[in-house]
Structure 1
Amino acid sequence: MRVNVPGSRNALHLGSGTQNVQFVYQWKPAYRIEDLPTGRLPLGEERALGQPSRLLRAAHQVVPFTGRHADLAQLADWRDMDRKAAVRLVSGPGGQGKTRLATHFADLTRAEGWTVWQAVTNASGSTGEANGAATIGTGLLLVVDYAERWPKSHLEELLTEVLTRPDDVPVRVLLLSRPVGVWWESLETWITDRLDDRTASPTAVDARGLPPLAEVPDEREALFGQARDCFARHLELADEEAALVEAPADIAADDDYAQILTIHMTALASVAAQQRGDRAPANPAEASAFLLKRERAQWVELRRSPEALVSSTPEVMGRAVLVATLTHHQVRDPHGWDALHRARLADRDFDANTILDDHLKCYPSLVGQVLEPLYPDRFAEDFLGLTTPASHDSSHPVPGAVVDDWAHLAVRRLVLGRSGTDTPAPWTQHTLTVLTETARRWPHVATGQLYPLLREHPELALHATSATLVTLSELETLDLAVLEKIEPLLPDRDTNLDLGIAAIVERLARHRLATTDDPLVHARDHHHQARRFHNAGLLDKAVEAGRKSLEAWRELAAGDPAYEPEYARALANLANHLSAAGERDQARGFAEQAVSLYRRLAKESAPDHEADLATALSNLASHLSDLGEREKAAARVAEALAIRRRLAEADPDVPDPGLALCLVNHGNFLSDLGRRDEALTATEEAVDIHRRLADVNHAAHDPDLAGSLNNLGSCLSDAGRLRDALAITEEAVTVKRRLAEANPVMYRSDLALSLSNLGNRLSDIGRLADALEAEQEATDIRELLARENPAAFGAELAHSQSNLGLRLSDMGKRRAAVTVTERAVTTYRELHANYQAVFAPDLARALANYGCQLTDVGRPEEALTAGEESVAIYRELAAANEAAYELELAKTLTNLSIHLSELDRPEDALSATEEAVRILRPPTEANETAHGPSLARALNNLGLRLLALGRRDDALSAAEDAARIHRRLADSDPAAHEPDLATSLINLGNSLSALGRHEDALVAGRQATEIQCRLATHNPDAHTVDLALMLNNLGALLAETGRWKEALTATKDAVGIRSHLAKEDAPAHGPDLATSLTNIGNWLSKLGRWEEVLAVTGEAVDIQRRPAKASSAVDPADLALTLSNLGFLPSEMGQ
């Protein structure tokens, strides 16, 4: 298996002992894939006796696997299901037994003939030798532990490598993690976004929580006994001594023992205590304390050994271990040194190196790294809880715990530096995560460390992850004064923290609302919650809080008109929340109420409320547009824009975000009404303002910048500036991808919109494979969103499916195109039934695409039905708004003429395409770059229709006009227009041939074929089908000039391509193959090669008979003609 990394000169590196390649990222291997070890990893007796905690590591399998029958059965069903690729996440708290379950399942899977690998991060940058190519068994299982700790890009590269294997071997990826939060939701979205177009079938993705093994209290004592006996053997405790070790008296009653790791830690500590004649621990905390006591004893022994293996005192070693717990592993220079300097453990780098080296001897780390923490993570958190002293007015939760007063200030020193005001250290995020997780089970760490630190330095919370802020807000012992200190510092919008911010605001609001009946407090707190929920993408919560806020403001405004502005704002905000949640009708009603109230307030006190009125008008315009009332929407936003411009004149040098958003909306509505030049001007002005705002504050204004960039790309495309449109749309995708990675719940939908537009822009310039990839990603995101909320995202999914059908068709994937576009048509029909004005354009567009794709797969009657319906809808739309829809009507008429021609209705076909040409000529004369492609395509069709009716001179005139337009366009942008130029040239050749100008026809045919050969060489998936058509036509043109051998060569090339295509999709490509074979028979007959004529003509008949029995893909007249030719052959051969 190979990995190709664009732009890398050395993308492959094989590691020693691995079966697979490592992906190279920034010149360092990011991970390695290797055999998952079978059996247990040996552990030296001396090491086990010195540090018993090592016996807890899952790799050593000291305690045999037990139970989990239902979990194993579920995993076996998942492994054996009828899917090519599947990913499952198994999650649970630390100590739940995830790694042991995965290892045992891997052994069972290996016994079924599967190959089992593991993937591990390889941050050390080490290199090695490969053992050779991997051999895959019945299937492939890949296990990834600590999946949540992988960098997202590395995990994506790993999954891409494994899940897109070209063979038919089933692949299963088992991910293990503690949390199931935003990281998993983001990864799940990425899997469904990226892989469907690369695999034979969609990847199955799901997540399962792992229940506690010791959930049944009566089973815990037996589990304790099993672990005790195993640990006793490894610690060389005699059987009779081990039998004296009893389970804690409350093991069945204390839910702390529900986790298997807690039972194992207690059993290990009890065995070690029996061995040394000490008292057995009475609870889980004492068990951790005892094991840590053994760690300290090992430090002493290493220092006192004859070799003096370490020079650091046990006190210094313990402090180094605590630093490692709080910072996680770091590179030595500079972060390892800096950590020890900050912690007051070393003043010089020389002294820091001594401590780091001693720590490495006790806790080996990856090459190039230091400060390896204790494992399991639960044990490291207990070390922090046990070592940190309680406050002076309280006692430590574990009597007799060996605490270190130095630890009291360790956290503060590590994250703040010597002065206490330095920039937070690079490990601050990890330190806050460890503190918060430890605070769950060690309240004195919360009250003595975490809470005081954040009260005095609440700005540190902004350096935490969103997940850590959520955990913080959920702590039972939380001092709400901590959150009250943090709340004023929370940014208005921050894509990295919005989820955590919402959790903090919700916790504070819950407390305040429970302690007062004051309607003003309720109104404000519900308002703040609704806004934060909306920013975080929690739309249902936003609507609920918005309704409660509205009711409170209504009550206040009824008693005191001074509250009317707040009541109006609550109306507008609730409308926005409802709209985002897909409740369009309700949103409009509340938005209209807000405008009415603000209009009255503005009349009474204009300077104070004009800006609010403008915002309300702009919002109402959006809601009206969502319901298809575009004329009304345009009027409302024009009124809002006039107000915004008047207000902005007061300080023209300061960018006004309200004016920018109003300009974006204005541009959208102008575009909807067909006023495209005005739309472009407005949108360019909006982008300029948003750029200036984002330069000052990216977190606050990037979302609006990305939205205006997205719209500008569409406006530039409408103006025919295809390259500019692509560059702007790519920028929009870059910004929105960054936003979606930080908060997928909030920004996935926006990312999908930009990706869909990117697919259109890429298609416009001929990058068809890239266009398909972008649209596939957009569709996959929207499929996930629509499953979660069909009302809000069903229309967006249909939009992507319609576009995806186009992209698949462009790449020659005809049947797949029909399937996906059919889904879009079905969805739009349902939406159109309820919101006719809104979704009529979308339904018409999807039907137009559907008709073309049905023609491609030989279903002409259905194609005509779809095309006629599309034209009827566009006629109705154009009658109401000619500027907006007449161009779309013309394009659909061009398609309709093709459908009519396929069913042998030449006069009707000509009428349709003549109407299309009449519509398209005036706008093309005004802007050939924007509208020339559509006119040239219509002219091509006009030429074909005229030729079919014997009007050869008129047909040539139309074909020449089409070729001239396409040649001018291709001269300025070859990638975008050369495919259409090739089509125009082949049609021109046919028209010239019909007039007997065979040599001129051949010149045009050769030019067309040369262009198509170049295109197919660069992008075979997109252009091979058309290349076969060009070669077939070229063969016919060569034959007309008597060049039989050249004709035979060209047509054989066409047969070679069409044979391959027919193997993949016989109904779609078999008829074309039969046509080329028949032509070869004709050319061979001219050369007197009758035996070959018989063979190829017979093959053509076989192909034509097969689909003729099952569908109308082959014209019966073609079959009859071929049979007639076959009938003449015996006499020609003298038989």
Structure 2
Amino acid sequence: MRINSVAEVYGGASGTGHVLGQDLVLTASHVVADGHAASVRTLGSAEWVDADVIWRGTGDVDAALLRTRRPLPSETVDSSLRWGSVGTYEQISCRVTGFPAVQARSSGVRDTDTFCGQTVPGAGYKNGRIVIQSAGGPRDRIGSVSPWAGISGGAVFSSPESHLLGIVESVPAGYPNNRLKVVPTSTLLKDSRFREFVGDPAIRSVTKSGSVIHPPYGTLPDRHPASWLLDPRYAVVDFIDDGGWLDDLTKWATSSERFSIGAISGSGGMGKSRLAAELADRMRQVGWDAGYLNIDNVQSWHEVSSEHPLLIIIDYASRFGERLAGLIERLAANSSGKPVRLLLVERRLGAWWETVNRVTRRRAQHLLDKHVVLRESSISPESVSRHLELAMSSLSRKLGVEPIPASEIRTGDSTSPLLIHISVLLALRGTGLEPGGAEPLGRSPATREALLQGLLDREVTRWEAALEAHKLGHLHSAQAGRLVAMASLFSPTRAEAKVLLERMPEICSQPDVLKAVEWLADMFGSEDGVIRPVGPDLVVEHLLETLNDLDSLVLRLLDVRDALTDAPRARMFHLLSLSAQSGRNSRAALTAALARHLPQLLEAEISNAETEDHSLLVGALSASDKSNIALSRIAQQVAASIPSDSERLAEVRAEVFGLAITRGRRRAGGGIDKVPDELLVDERAADFAELGRLLNELGTSLGHLSRWGRAQAATLEAVEIFSVLSAKFGNFHDRRSLAVALSHAGQFFRSLRLHDQSLRSAMRATELWRELAVEDPKEREDLAIALTNLADSLCSAGKPAEAIAYSTEAIALLRSELRQGGERARPRLERALSELAHHLMEVGDVDWAREAITEAASSVGFEVGQTVETNRLDSVGYLNGLAAELLLREGEFEKAKSCAIISASAYGKYAHEYQGNFYYLRGSLQLLLRVLDAAGEAEDAAAMRADLAHLLVEPGIEDYDKEVKEFEAFAHIIEGRGASTMFSTAVRR
């Protein structure tokens, strides 16, 4: 919607119009009376332009087209205007800007106001109108006149997509102040003469599923489970702002930042979604586009934007790691001047947030300006009383029963608003509303499980009572429960439910399929044709926990996965992962599902490069039973199929190897240091060797994710295993595995700035590689790599002069390999030359360093200081960085700047391809800043520090200490002693 296209119209009455062409204005027919002169004034102009009516709607169509007698300003015409139509039962956010009576000044001039709201499903059906309901704006009448009088003729647009849905018609007497009636565009375009004037535009169907933002609240269906009265999307119970969080979030939303991220976390039932919806509702009242991102529309992630301030809420954000990271990058790069706020709602900011932060190269954390944590301990006795009082008032009014004194409601150990509300609802439902009402559970001792079971029991009674009416009286209660669980897990449409049940005769016989679908729709259906879950997620989780054969149901549902789209499967895994965190039954079902289907799930992830949101599989693997041998066996079988160099699958690979180790550890039978020497033979030794291999792979995977502490813990255990095996058997394979593990350990120590330990590991690794290379010349390249690593460790430990000899030895080995046709040695030679150049610079040998840089670049086909297209981004970044450092020392600032920019650009792409390489990017940016500072380009340096602050943050000592604690138990492995020591006192240079 273009605000310049809004026009004021007068033709006997005051109204609003919308400019469709340079001389064409759409308005309401009653605004321009027959025989009365008409005039138009566009927004921002003081001049009225005379106009003539060229078309009127027939019958009750309150619409007219005006032709102005001279052209309107070209900037008032929206050349990108899109026409849309919305169904009677759709609920779409919308807005209309006009000149309502409430904005009239004493001089008679009217200012604009915007009616922000949403379409009301089912309203206006008989006379073919859209009814929209306001989320705010003026509500008081001026005498007997609606405050919105004067907005008639205003164009109604979907929000934030800006499709023209229709125009506001005359408001009937006595109509609610917060509602308007709209003549749909589809009605206008049925008239052939209207189409002649507007050019027969294409019209797009605007649906809830196709919108990018959903309104914060929906309309409660006439038929609904009692548990839906507690669902945050229906806002039946009045909102209580425990802790003043709504005001805090409002301050965050209205702060001066152009783009900012907020988060609400807390356990289930604490009111996270309701708090987010209240914020959206408040912001809509002041003209924002605000609501929940439509996660069912995959285009939402790419298309969500607005001409107005925008608040986007993503509930259960952990489901959407990769897509969320992409959205953050897009919104952060958006140059629009309108504020945008992204509010994430999740139970905790755990590993998924770490992934988002890693993928966005810390931008996400940098932009996270507000994090509200709703803690159960924050529910004070006073808060409990307030929740009881408001829940009793709201629910008794909705149910049409007398309220019960709050003193008679036992909340027991209820520590969340939802459980308190359940207590009230159960008490009210025990007043005889339902046949055979039992003793109200709300008046008996209440525990979390008892409250949830009480609510579920009421629902079971309701849905079982309806079976007979749908000719399903023969169904066993357990079958009905499975049907409800299926609907709650998938939230399918009627059509999807039918397809599922037709494929699952053991759950529902073929003659009963259509009846079962209709029964589910009758019990849990909504206006959009979707069968909704039985209640809030806590209720669904409790249902899953009480289902005796949940594991077999889940397995069967996955067996017919080809009948499902990705979205229902994603929802099922997400719900199971949530429930598995505290529910044994759900954890067992999730684990069984992964044990059977992990190969297929991984194959789909590996083969489909377009697959998004690996967070779901990572979350499921993380929530599964880590001690389950069947799952561990499958993980062990498929782990090797995951490409080790795939950034896209790095998280998945780490989780799968983590699971695989369970069986490996079980087969090995405990720590190798506890096994007597005489028992470490044959199969037992082979089992330990396999465990060591898995640990090495896990360490590598975690290292790719920059999780140095956990990576080192796995690697040091592998060092311990292969040290014992090598000492006992001395075979080549065990000693080579030990050399690999020691090499990795040295690199991880260096990343953690534990330079003494890094040097010790690198020395031991190099000694082993020397022995191996003597026995098998094929290991000469690995020896060269070890020598290069050792040189790096020496330089990092402050001994660059000693490093040079090891680098030159590595270079000699690699040149020899190249002369013998070993092309695999070329990139390794380039790295050895690059590192030699660094060591030479540290000792001040500039000329030799320059020669090494030039040879290194030449060896892989590029020239330092020149922009080049190559897949050797790390080489381009590192060598240009070294050259920039040399040039900076020599005072060649322009050349240094050119090389530093090339380095930073290459590392930016390198880090994007593999987020574990982020620290290289940070180093290149810091180098570029040093060049800018030295060159006196203070303005550019300041701008860079402000724009890239999130990329420049160095980890603090506490970050390193946190990582070190992960592998304290293996200190004796590196120290070479029997007793364990703490690394927290290690010197970091």
Pairwise TM-score range, normalised by the shorter structure? 0.5 to 0.7
State the match for 1:518 in structure 2: 672
Could you tell me which of 539, 551, 561 is aligned with 1:379?
Answer: 539
Evaluate the alpha carbon distance shift between residue 485 and residue 684 of structure 1 in structure 2; reply closer, same or farther with a 3 A threshold.
same
User: Which amino acid is the alignment partner of residue 278 of structure 1?
Assistant: G
Partners of 1:345 and 1:352 within 8 A in 2 = no
Q: CA deviation at 1:95?
A: 1.7
Q: CA deviation at 1:532?
A: 3.8
Evaluate the alpha carbon distance shift between residue 118 and residue 94 of structure 1 in structure 2; reply closer, same or farther with a 3 A threshold.
farther
CA distance in 1, matches of 2:523, 2:255: 46
Partners of 2:464 and 2:480 within 8 A in 1 = no
Could you tell me which of 439, 442, 460 is aligned with 2:580?
Answer: 439
CA distance in 1, matches of 2:559, 2:242: 45
CA distance in 2, matches of 1:516, 1:222: 54
Matches within 5 A, 1:891-902: none
Could you tell me which of 695, 709, 730 is aligned with 1:540?
Answer: 709
Could you tell me which of 582, 594, 598 is aligned with 2:753?
Answer: 582
State the match for 2:291 in structure 1: 119
CA distance in 1, matches of 2:257, 2:817: 61
Evaluate the alpha carbon distance shift between residue 133 and residue 615 of structure 1 in structure 2; reply closer, same or farther with a 3 A threshold.
closer
CA distance in 1, matches of 2:364, 2:484: 43
User: Which amino acid is the alignment partner of residue 678 of structure 1?
Assistant: E
CA distance in 1, matches of 2:526, 2:883: 55
Matched, 1:456 2:614: no
Partners of 2:699 and 2:714 within 8 A in 1 = yes
State the match for 1:485 in structure 2: 634
For the residue of structure 2 that corresponds to 1:485, the secondary structure is helix
User: Which amino acid is the alignment partner of residue 620 of structure 1?
Assistant: L
CA distance in 1, matches of 2:700, 2:361: 30
For the residue of structure 2 that corresponds to 1:258, the secondary structure is coil
Q: CA deviation at 1:575?
A: 0.9
CA distance in 2, matches of 1:477, 1:557: 30
Q: CA deviation at 1:577?
A: 0.7
User: Which amino acid is the alignment partner of residue 438 of structure 1?
Assistant: S
Evaluate the alpha carbon distance shift between residue 244 and residue 72 of structure 1 in structure 2; reply closer, same or farther with a 3 A threshold.
closer
Could you tell me which of 716, 736, 754 is aligned with 2:911?
Answer: 736
Evaluate the alpha carbon distance shift between residue 474 and residue 383 of structure 1 in structure 2; reply closer, same or farther with a 3 A threshold.
closer
State the match for 2:416 in structure 1: 259
Q: CA deviation at 1:538?
A: 1.3
Q: CA deviation at 1:356?
A: 7.9
Matches within 5 A, 1:349-360: none
CA distance in 1, matches of 2:655, 2:859: 38
Q: CA deviation at 1:55?
A: 0.4
State the match for 1:781 in structure 2: 951
CA distance in 2, matches of 1:622, 1:30: 55
Q: Which has the higher strand share?
A: 2
CA distance in 1, matches of 2:499, 2:881: 51
* Unaligned segments of structure 1, at least 5 residues: 4-8, 197-201, 306-311, 392-404, 419-423, 692-701, 741-745, 763-767, 794-832, 836-1135
State the match for 1:57 in structure 2: 231
CA distance in 2, matches of 1:265, 1:638: 74
Deviates further, 143-152 or 538-547: 143-152
Partners of 2:742 and 2:765 within 8 A in 1 = yes
Partners of 1:188 and 1:205 within 8 A in 2 = no
User: Which amino acid is the alignment partner of residue 484 of structure 1?
Assistant: R
Larger radius of gyration: 1
Deviations 1:1041-1077 (A, max 9, x none): xxxxxxxxxxxxxxxxxxxxxxxxxxxxxxxxxxxxx
State the match for 1:683 in structure 2: 860
Q: CA deviation at 1:576?
A: 0.7
Q: CA deviation at 1:210?
A: 1.6
Deviations 1:37-93 (A, max 9, x none): 7xxx7646x43xx42122012243333344723756866886899988754312123
* Number of aligned positions between the proteins: 703
Q: CA deviation at 1:152?
A: 1.9
* Unaligned segments of structure 2, at least 5 residues: 4-78, 85-92, 97-115, 117-157, 164-203, 442-448, 606-612, 674-684, 842-848, 888-893, 933-937, 964-986
State the match for 1:595 in structure 2: 766
State the match for 1:205 in structure 2: 369
User: Which amino acid is the alignment partner of residue 635 of structure 2?
Assistant: I
TM-align CA RMSD: 6.3
State the match for 1:176 in structure 2: 345
State the match for 1:906 in structure 2: none
Q: CA deviation at 1:103?
A: 5.2
Partners of 2:587 and 2:623 within 8 A in 1 = no
Matches within 5 A, 1:971-990: none
Evaluate the alpha carbon distance shift between residue 555 and residue 444 of structure 1 in structure 2; reply closer, same or farther with a 3 A threshold.
closer
Q: Which has the higher helix share?
A: 1
CA distance in 2, matches of 1:749, 1:24: 42
Evaluate the alpha carbon distance shift between residue 552 and residue 217 of structure 1 in structure 2; reply closer, same or farther with a 3 A threshold.
farther
Please give the TM-score of this superposition, normalised by the length of structure 1. 0.49
Q: Which has the higher contact order (CA 8 A, sep 6+)?
A: 2
CA distance in 2, matches of 1:133, 1:426: 30
Evaluate the alpha carbon distance shift between residue 217 and residue 389 of structure 1 in structure 2; reply closer, same or farther with a 3 A threshold.
farther
CA distance in 2, matches of 1:33, 1:446: 33
Deviations 1:208-247 (A, max 9, x none): 432126867998799568645643442233447x999854
Matches within 5 A, 1:279-428: 279=438, 283-293=450-460, 296=463, 300=467, 322-327=485-490, 373=533, 375-386=535-546, 389=549, 407=553, 409-415=555-561, 428=569
Q: CA deviation at 1:572?
A: 2.0
Matched, 1:272 2:406: no
CA distance in 1, matches of 2:361, 2:702: 26
Could you tell me which of 641, 646, 660 is aligned with 2:827?
Answer: 660
Partners of 1:575 and 1:591 within 8 A in 2 = yes
Matched, 1:69 2:243: yes
State the match for 1:614 in structure 2: 784
Evaluate the alpha carbon distance shift between residue 104 and residue 496 of structure 1 in structure 2; reply closer, same or farther with a 3 A threshold.
same
CA distance in 1, matches of 2:2, 2:629: 54
User: Which amino acid is the alignment partner of residue 437 of structure 2?
Assistant: D
Partners of 2:834 and 2:856 within 8 A in 1 = yes
Q: CA deviation at 1:613?
A: 1.6
State the match for 2:850 in structure 1: 674
Matched, 1:152 2:324: yes
Deviations 1:170-202 (A, max 9, x none): x87654223313443455678896699xxxxx8
User: Which amino acid is the alignment partner of residue 590 of structure 2?
Assistant: L
State the match for 2:145 in structure 1: none
User: Which amino acid is the alignment partner of residue 672 of structure 2?
Assistant: D
Partners of 1:189 and 1:781 within 8 A in 2 = no
CA distance in 2, matches of 1:412, 1:591: 48
Matched, 1:748 2:933: no
Partners of 1:546 and 1:577 within 8 A in 2 = no
Evaluate the alpha carbon distance shift between residue 452 and residue 146 of structure 1 in structure 2; reply closer, same or farther with a 3 A threshold.
closer
Partners of 2:160 and 2:289 within 8 A in 1 = no
User: Which amino acid is the alignment partner of residue 489 of structure 1?
Assistant: V
Evaluate the alpha carbon distance shift between residue 266 and residue 354 of structure 1 in structure 2; reply closer, same or farther with a 3 A threshold.
same
Deviates further, 514-523 or 485-494: 514-523
For the residue of structure 1 that corresponds to 2:453, the secondary structure is helix
CA distance in 2, matches of 1:356, 1:502: 41
CA distance in 2, matches of 1:96, 1:297: 30
Q: CA deviation at 1:434?
A: 2.9
State the match for 1:848 in structure 2: none
Matched, 1:97 2:271: yes
For the residue of structure 2 that corresponds to 1:623, the secondary structure is helix
User: Which amino acid is the alignment partner of residue 160 of structure 2?
Assistant: Q
User: Which amino acid is the alignment partner of residue 786 of structure 2?
Assistant: A
User: Which amino acid is the alignment partner of residue 293 of structure 1?
Assistant: V
Evaluate the alpha carbon distance shift between residue 457 and residue 790 of structure 1 in structure 2; reply closer, same or farther with a 3 A threshold.
closer
Deviations 1:573-630 (A, max 9, x none): 2211111222345423431332234224433x13364343233123224334546766
